[in-house]
Amino acid sequence: MLRALLLALAKSSRLRRLITSHGATRRMARRFVPGEELPPAIEAARVCNKAGMTVSLDHLGENVVTREDAERARASYTEALDQIAAQGIEGNVSLKLTHLGLDLGGEFCAEQLRIVTRRAEELGNFVRVDMEGSAYTDRTLRMVKQARAESAAVGTVIQAYLFRSEEDIRDLLGIGCRIRLVKGAYKEPSRIAFRRKKDVDANFIKLMKILLPSGTYHALATHDPKMIEAAIRFAAEQNITKDKFEFQMLYGIRTDLQSRLVRQGYRVRVYIPFGKDWFPYLMRRLAERPANLVFFARNLFRGAGPSA
């Protein structure tokens, strides 16, 4: 119930204005989003690299309504790729197609993606296309397949909560596409998605077992120790070595687990979001773990000081 409410509130522009205009809430959001511009994200990336982890930089933004905004987003991604190379960061980028104008037309968006992917390829880097709500699944997969036909420097994300995901994985494996497997962060109807955690978890493990032996380099993006343990056990049984896949986690979440995996010799990539449009991202993180709301509320009252 609370998860559904938080995901619905993520779409409220009034709440967005309220939350993002306050210094206290902006400071608290730093736990999940290191900054609103690229330099603090690069700094956070450097810290992760020093701790033995690679990164993926995500310039936050989705559902832009003008072509100018989409082009600005595209330019921010080529800039991020340039800075990653110039500053010797071990990392790539993650982006959302609705940030590159998917709502404004397929051809237009495909061209923006092509420009970013080409730059990544020139720099020997990689672009991960995030997966958004189910209204975009078909279009995202179509566009990724088209981009993948032109360049190997692009991959995408599959959500274990969708019934269709096994079929999508088999389709993407057919073209050697790198996949990040996640549980899924959006509010989806029971007609198309598993609703119970135990069913989503079972499907995550089933899909992980298809991905890891496939011979392509994939990522398992989860903070769930049970999913991670299942993957480690399966990889050991199948003689899949630690350099053949990676774990991914979000900036600021389960940093203890991130470090432990690095110490055990596993590859870990930290997803680092940055940018002014952090409200929907923050709401999805709160929805995943409503206990984070307590952290927010406690700090809000503490930050409000004695006059509150």
Ligand X SMILES: Cc1cc2nc3c(=O)[nH]c(=O)nc-3n(C[C@H](O)[C@H](O)[C@H](O)COP(=O)(O)OP(=O)(O)OC[C@H]3O[C@@H](n4cnc5c(N)ncnc54)[C@H](O)[C@@H]3O)c2cc1C
Known catalytic residues?
130, 180
Site string for ligand X, 141-170 (x = CB under 6 A): ----------------x-x-----------
Among residues 172, 221, 231, 272, the one that binds ligand X under rule CB under 6 A: 221
Among residues 57, 93, 249, 268, the one that binds ligand X under rule CB under 6 A: 249
Cα separation, 276 vs 272, in Å, equals 14
Among residues 95, 141, 185, 208, the one that binds ligand X under rule CB under 6 A: 185
DSSP-derived letter for residue 88 is: T
Cα separation, 181 vs 159, in Å, equals 6
Helix ranges (DSSP H) in 123-242: 137-150, 165-173, 197-211, 225-237
Among residues 28, 57, 60, 131, the one that binds ligand X under rule CB under 6 A: 131
Cα separation, 130 vs 62, in Å, equals 11
CB of 305 to ligand X, least distance (A): 27
CB of 49 to ligand X, least distance (A): 16
What is the enclosing helix (H) or strand (E) of 270?
strand 268-274
Residue 223 binds ligand X (CB under 6 A): yes
Contact 113, 146 (CB under 8 A): no
Residue 184 binds ligand X (CB under 6 A): yes
The answer for 186, left when phi > 0, alpha when psi is -120 to 50, beta otherwise, is: beta
Among residues 77, 136, 186, 194, the one that binds ligand X under rule CB under 6 A: 186
| Residue 81 or 157 with smaller CB distance to ligand X | 157
CB of 123 to ligand X, least distance (A): 21
